[in-house]
Amino acid sequence: MKVLMGKITVWRAISAIILVAGLYATYLRVMYGLGGSTNLSDKFPWGIWIGFDVMCGVGLAAGGFTLVAMVHIFNIEKYKPVLRPAVLTAFLGYVLVVVGLLYDLGRPDRLWHPLVMWNPHSVMFEVAWCVTLYTTVLFLEFLPMVFERFGWHRPLEWIHRISVPLMILGVLLSTLHQSSLGSLFLIVPSKLYPLWYSPILPLLFYISAIAVGLAMTIFESWHSSRAFGRALELPLLASMARVLAVILSVYLWIRFLDLSHRHAFGLLTQNRIETWLFALEIALMAVPMALLYQASVRVRPGALYACAVMVVFGFITNRLNVGTTGLEAGSGTHYVPKWTEIAVTLSIVATGFTVFRLIAHYFPVFEKEQHTVEVQGEIDGADREAGAPVMT
């Protein structure tokens, strides 16, 4: 117990330091502009606020649409217990992406411009619309947790009535903009290193987003089981890990085919930073894939967690490669983020963890153990969504 308390305090101290640094960085960003708070330049206009905050933020939130599709459209009800945490992660993820954008845009006061000034030929325009609409959808998907918390049955029923079209819309919007984040880079064929530039970037982004959505679900289930002292939904996560292994295989196979059709494998003989980053990215996807095919790995919480973490880091490496490092050589420059950029990014992550924890503590995000569900019938009577016992 003492150890646990100590650990929590250490994490809180780290978070506090990060947030203080983030606040000071925010001050610098507001007072001295992008020049005073980033290492961006005319040759390198996008840094980690785009490469991580936006591209990874949106991707790591992909569990929301993946699980909504699995539970409500494919009707695989056994995944229901992890649906709400995934929706919450997605909602917070998107809100934080918008926060990240407020830092990155030169004119954050004009964030709304794409909604009224249209250019349908722009991928960014499509992403802006999808992210706006999907954040709204996620908000509506999150609302039942609020309504249940306060016992508002009437609005809960309204939400239920529109829930199916809402969820289909959410999956479609996600499909569009998860892939479009890859399409953003189709316009830079001469800048992006050929290990990453591919005409099928949108497809690769989409499949890897599904994979990381599942990995994030495993990741947060593991963390929340520790934080809230719940039992881990191991059989459920193990079966999800099986799906994850298959999706990773599909992803890696398409990646392999793409590289071979573009005759890009020759590049791997070159001793350059890109080669090593590519190897790292692929290894962080391939190793967990191979491990997750082993039943013995899937049933061990620690090993399962380690695999999820690898996938998450593999995904982050990929997005950073496409969004930053892979563009350095082609842009004829080097980019190392300034401390302020890192401080803001870490603050956003720390805020995400903290807010998730708070909401999960005060709202019905995680299912109660099955036997308590039956005891507390009066609460769950109004709640066909999460309270219904898992299909057995």
- Smallest gap from Cβ 73 to another protein, in A, equals 5
Q: Contacts with another protein in 57-116 (CB under 8 A)?
A: 69, 72-75, 77, 104-108, 110-111, 113-114
CB proximity list for 160: less than 8 A, separation 6 or greater: 144, 384, 385
Is 292:298 a contact under the CB 8 Å cutoff?
Answer: yes
Name which of 125 and 313 has its Cβ closer to another protein: 125
Cα separation of 306 and 310, whole Å? 6
Identified binder of another protein from the candidate list 18, 25, 28, 40, rule CB under 8 A = 40
How is residue 186 written in tokens? 């189709």
The contacts of residue 145 (CB under 8 Å, 6+ apart) are 84, 88, 359, 363, 364, 365
Near another protein in 290-329, by CB under 8 A: 327
Give the nearest distance from C-beta 327 to another protein in angstroms: 8
229 binds another protein (CB under 8 A): no
Alpha carbon distance 221, 216 (integer Å): 8
**Binding track over 158-197 against another protein, x by CB under 8 A:** ------x---x--xx--xx--xx--xx-xxxxxx------
Shortest distance in whole angstroms from residue 321 CB to another protein: 15
CB of 333 to another protein, least distance (A): 9
Helix (H, G, I), strand (E, B) or coil at 106: coil
Question: Binding string to another protein for residues 237 to 276, with x set by CB under 8 A, is what?
Answer: ----------------------------------------
Applying CB under 8 A, which residues contact another protein? 30-36, 40-43, 45-46, 69, 72-75, 77, 104-108, 110-111, 113-114, 117-128, 164, 168, 171-172, 175-176, 179-180, 183-184, 186-191, 199, 202, 327, 331-332, 391-392
